[in-house]
């Protein structure tokens, strides 16, 4: 096999060979060699976000007279090509790298610089006429660019993907709540029979969980919309024009449609990941809610003959390689696994968040990766849950059939005959195998007509005046 053609580059540490056709440079190549840890790389949303920052910085630096027009214009055009996804494969740095994300910031600087150099007729890797540090990174530091990129990417993903996905699942659950409103069944507490409930009321509870999930996502969005840009190295803004960060953020606001603002405390914004930790906590809460719903649907659809079997889930694939005809609740199971991953990601983010040593957090890349993965997983899983499972749910007759066999319906007798007497009837029914009505007819003075009225299941599902 022929060896790869290389070019020789020089950076602040000396000379290094880089693949001849690569748009990344020596700094990125050093990071690639230093961190052969995993196959994990920053994805589309993060690459887009950091390129949006670089493009907006070039626009503002041109306005401020800090860059000449030819160089600024070349950066703006090159950054747009990165924003559009033309050079994603050039972002080669592992997630497990320098804790500040400096290697990824330089990866972006070098790619945009080299794309601009090529457009201007220069030689890849020459660092002229567009320099990755002096021009693309002007007014910035990795220490404020990377946390800003994390917030920008995550806020965009929540706004564009997660919130619509949660709303779609909420709408699907609400539609099922309305469809199932007339279906009465036995409620369950402690996995034991409880008083009757409408199947639609159970689904109204799930709908409420999704309403709150949306509110939690919006809370996370608000925290992430506050940006660290402007602090440069340690929060003091050294090496930056006083108007640079505020102008860049105005442009990012126009570019993304997000309600972005600059932090009022750059020292906090760069030395902590508190907003990321808080946002991840909201995502964990959403995941826990989805896990509860997914497990409920699995149990309600269990059987179909030897389980609860009060609903049927859509049959989407064969469930066994050995048992013909078996169908499993695979969509709900996938939601449960997504929830587990998001909960695990939150633990990693919490550990990363406490690694803010003095003026800089040093676990930003892994926190970014996990936060963005959680948003992506919840977004795609919620939509798939709605499409492949919830929309196709059907109620069976098993729930209504079992209502009168439940012992907890004797609860409505307590205000009439007293708690102890009602408990005695329930105990007798559990021993004899009779239902509550049969035992009450034998052990009380209540008539058949009175018992029919008192024990009417649907009347037990609504609050009394």
For the chain, list the domains and their CATH numbers.
Answer: 6-138 (1.10.275.10), 144-181+199-235+264-398 (1.20.200.10), 406-461 (1.10.40.30)
Complete DSSP assignment for 163-227: HHHHHHHHHHHHHHHHHTTT-EEEEEETTEEEEEEEHHHHHHHHHHHHHHHHHHHHHHHHHHTEE
| Burial call 144-162: b when 16+ CB within 10 Å, e when fewer | bbbbbbbbbbbbbbbbbbb
Query: What is the number of other CB atoms lying within 10 angstroms of the CB of residue 343?
Result: 17
Helix residue ranges, H only, 16-130? 26-34, 44-63, 69-83, 102-119
Token readout for 363 is 């676990």
Question: What's the pLDDT score for residue 1?
Answer: 42
Using alpha carbons only, what angle is made at residue 366 by residues 349 and 225, rounded to the nearest 5 degrees?
A: 65
* Bridging pattern class, strands 192-198 and 226-227: unpaired
Q: How far apart are alpha carbons 163 and 283 in whole angstroms?
A: 11
| Burial call 106-119: b when 16+ CB within 10 Å, e when fewer | bbbbbbbbbbbbee
Q: Which residues of the chain have pLDDT under 50?
A: 1
**Which position among 73, 100, 172, 190 bears the catalytic label?**
190
Token readout for 80 is 């747009």
For 279-327, write each residue's pLDDT tens digit. Answer: 999 999 999 999 999 999 999 999 988 999 999 999 988 887 888 788 8
**Which position among 38, 320, 430, 432 bears the catalytic label?**
320
Is position 151 annotated as part of the catalytic site?
A: no
Token readout for 352 is 């990363």
> Which residues 6+ apart lie within 8 Å of 300 measured at CB?
308, 310, 311
CA 174 to the chain's CA centroid: 22
* Bridging pattern class, strands 226-227 and 261-262: parallel
Is position 131 annotated as part of the catalytic site?
A: no
Question: What's the pLDDT score for residue 2?
Answer: 54
């Amino acid at each position: 096999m022929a060896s790869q053609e290389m070019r020789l580059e020089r950076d602040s540490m000396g000379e290094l060979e880089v693949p001849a056709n690569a748009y990344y440079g020596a700094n990125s190549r050093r990071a690639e060699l230093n961190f052969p840890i995993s196959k994990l790389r920053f994805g589309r949303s993060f690459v887009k976000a950091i390129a949006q920052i670089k493009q907006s910085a070039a626009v503002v630096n041109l306005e401020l007279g800090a860059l000449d027009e030819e160089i600024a214009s070349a950066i703006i055009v090159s950054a747009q090509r990165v924003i559009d996804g033309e050079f994603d494969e050039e972002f080669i740095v592992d997630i497990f790298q320098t804790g500040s994300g400096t290697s990824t910031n330089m990866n972006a600087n070098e790619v945009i610089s080299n794309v601009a150099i090529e457009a201007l007729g220069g030689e890849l890797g020459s660092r002229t006429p567009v320099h990755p540090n002096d021009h693309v990174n002007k007014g910035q530091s990795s220490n404020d660019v990377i946390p800003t990129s994390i917030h920008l990417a995550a806020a965009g993903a929540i706004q564009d993907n997660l919130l619509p996905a949660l709303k779609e699942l909420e709408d699907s659950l609400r539609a099922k709540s309305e469809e199932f409103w007339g279906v009465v069944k036995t409620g369950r507490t402690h996995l034991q029979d409880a008083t009757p409930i409408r199947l639609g009321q159970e689904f109204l509870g799930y709908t409420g969980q999704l309403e709150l999930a949306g509110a939690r996502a919006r809370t996370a969005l608000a925290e992430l919309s506050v940006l660290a840009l402007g602090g440069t190295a340690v929060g003091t803004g050294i090496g930056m024009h006083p108007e640079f960060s505020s102008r860049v953020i105005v442009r990012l606001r126009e570019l993304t449609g997000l309600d972005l603002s600059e932090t009022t405390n750059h020292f906090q914004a760069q030395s902590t990941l508190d907003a990321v930790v808080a946002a991840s906590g909201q995502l964990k809460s959403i995941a826990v809610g989805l896990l509860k719903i997914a497990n409920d649907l699995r149990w309600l659809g269990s059987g179909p003959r030897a389980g609860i079997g009060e609903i049927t889930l859509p049959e989407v694939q064969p469930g066994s390689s050995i048992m013909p005809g078996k169908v499993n609740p695979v969509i709900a199971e996938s939601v449960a696994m997504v929830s587990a991953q998001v909960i695990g990601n939150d633990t990693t983010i919490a550990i990363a968040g406490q690694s803010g040593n003095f003026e800089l957090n040093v676990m930003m890349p892994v926190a970014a990766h996990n936060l963005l993965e959680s948003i992506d997983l919840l977004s795609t899983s919620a939509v798939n849950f709605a499409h492949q499972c919830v929309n196709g749910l059907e109620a069976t007759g098993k729930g209504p059939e079992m209502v009168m066999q439940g012992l907890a319906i004797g609860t409505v007798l307590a205000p009439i005959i007293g708690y102890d007497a009602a408990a005695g009837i329930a105990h007798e029914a559990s021993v004899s195998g009779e239902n509550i009505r049969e035992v009450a007819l034998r052990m009380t003075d209540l008539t058949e007509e009175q018992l029919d009225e008192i024990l009417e299941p649907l009347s037990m599902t609504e609050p009394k005046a």
